[in-house]
Chain A
Amino acid sequence: MTKAFSLLLLYQLAGEAIVRVGKLPIPGPVVGMILLLATLMCHRRAAKDFREGAAVLLQHLSLFFVPAGVGVIVHVSRIADEWLPITLSIVVSTFAGMAVTVWVLKAMTSRRGAGEAR
């Protein structure tokens, strides 16, 4: 657990370093994730060092959004002023985006599957 956590921090740190050096527009943790994925592909056995630690963190992933979410109290009056466009915008776009993603993906995978004619 401590080993997994230390390694995750190390990958995040490496990600941050690459982002700064390369002036990339993506955040360090995402680069860290790509680095770790690349490592696991090269050393398949290393996955067991991470599994337990990763499971604990991912299980509580949504807790980690709480501090940012509580920031709503800073913007209450602004959101109250424009609640209608905000609500409609978020509700419609979230489900429209979700539906479009599923439709496109299903259409493409089923067509390809039929084309290969197994």
Chain B
Amino acid sequence: MNAEALAEVWTALSQSSLFCLTLTMAIYLVSIEIYKRCNYNTWASPTSLTIIFVAVFLVVARIPYPRFFEGAQFIHFLLGPATVALAVPLFDHWKRLASMAFPLLVALVAGSATAAGSAMLIAKVFGASREIVVSVAPKSVTTPIAMGISEQIGGIPSLTAVFVVITGSLGAVGFPLLFKWMKSNDAAAEGFAIGVTSHGFGTARAFLVSEEMGAFSALGMGLNGILSAIALPLILG
């Protein structure tokens, strides 16, 4: 096969859904391997690595994002059933969750308002444009809900999705340091705070620490999703 024919095959394949899906999964597996080699260092989180590697690859190979998403949507789709599946750990820890219902709700409102309010305030004070200020508001909410809120309050949904992912990776990487600094030693409270501020990313990592932390995180994420979906459009819409 000559170079010209090879280039033709490459052009056709690299623009296909199959290629983009395979690329994402392969890079994810490599990223997990890197994470292991780094002794599970939180800074080498496989998700962040995968996003960076895939993004660089797409730019270098000149594959437009919408083309990539045609393949990657099969992965994106699984966010839905995974969100439903969060009911299982919630059910397993329901007794403890229910016994703390009132403190959890007060902490939810306080934490959610702090996260969204301070995000908008800081962005505004440091001169961000209006679209950025609005798009950053729902960044602590899980992707599908955050994108919906962003659209309702006049933000840019796809930009919000990026902020959501950055927030999630940051929260997931930083929570062990924050709680160590706070000298906190309460898996339930910490898990809940992780879910309220860094949604699914934080929750995924909280499950690695303990099942209890994960369940509280899942609850925090779900409740903040519901609260923000109702409150943010009412306040900012």
Contacts and interface: CB of A to CB of B under 8 A. Distances in A.
B226 A47 contact: no
A contact patch SS: helix
A54 B85 contact: yes
B115 A89 contact: no
Contact of B225 (A26, A71, A90): A26
A114 interface: no
B186 A106 contact: yes
A88 B122 contact: yes
Interface string B173-216: 01100110010101011101110111011011101000000100
A97 B194 CA distance: 9
Given A30-B145, A30-B226, A104 B106 contact: yes
Nearest to A108: B103
Interface in A46-85: 47, 50-51, 53-55, 57-75, 78-79, 82, 84-85
A105 B182 CA distance: 14
A50 to B, nearest CB: 5
Given A29-B79, A102-B179, A66 B159 contact: no
B34 interface: no
Which one of B117, B132, B162 has the highest number of Cβ atoms from chain A below 10 Å of its Cβ? B162
Interface size class of chain A, counting residues whose CB lies under 8 Å from the partner chain: 35 or more
Nearest to A91: B170
Contacts of B118: 89, 92-93, 96-97
Q: Is the interface of B mostly helix, strand, loop or mixed?
A: helix
B174 A95 contact: yes
A6 to B, nearest CB: 10
Interface string B93-106: 01000001011101
B141 to A, nearest CB: 10
A41 B85 contact: no
A37 B158 CA distance: 30
B132 A82 contact: yes
Interface string B113-124: 011111110111
Contacts of A36: 84, 87-88
B145 A90 contact: no
Interface string A93-117: 1111111111011101100100000
A102 B65 contact: no
A108 B207 CA distance: 24
B86 interface: yes
A105 B192 contact: yes
A26 to B, nearest CB: 5
Interface of B: 24, 28, 45-47, 50-51, 54-55, 58-59, 65, 68-69, 72-73, 75-76, 78-92, 94, 100, 102-104, 106-108, 110-112, 114-120, 122-129, 132, 136, 139-140, 143-145, 148, 152, 156, 158-159, 161-168, 170-172, 174-175, 178-179, 182, 184, 186, 188-190, 192-194, 196-198, 200-201, 203-205, 207, 214, 220, 222, 225-226, 229-230, 233
Interface of A: 5, 8-9, 11-12, 15, 25-30, 32-34, 36-37, 40-41, 47, 50-51, 53-55, 57-75, 78-79, 82, 84-86, 88-102, 104-106, 108-109, 112
Given A64-B75, A85-B125, A104-B107, 11 more contacts: A29-B79, A29-B81, A54-B87, A58-B89, A64-B78, A67-B69, A68-B164, A85-B123, A93-B115, A101-B189, A108-B106
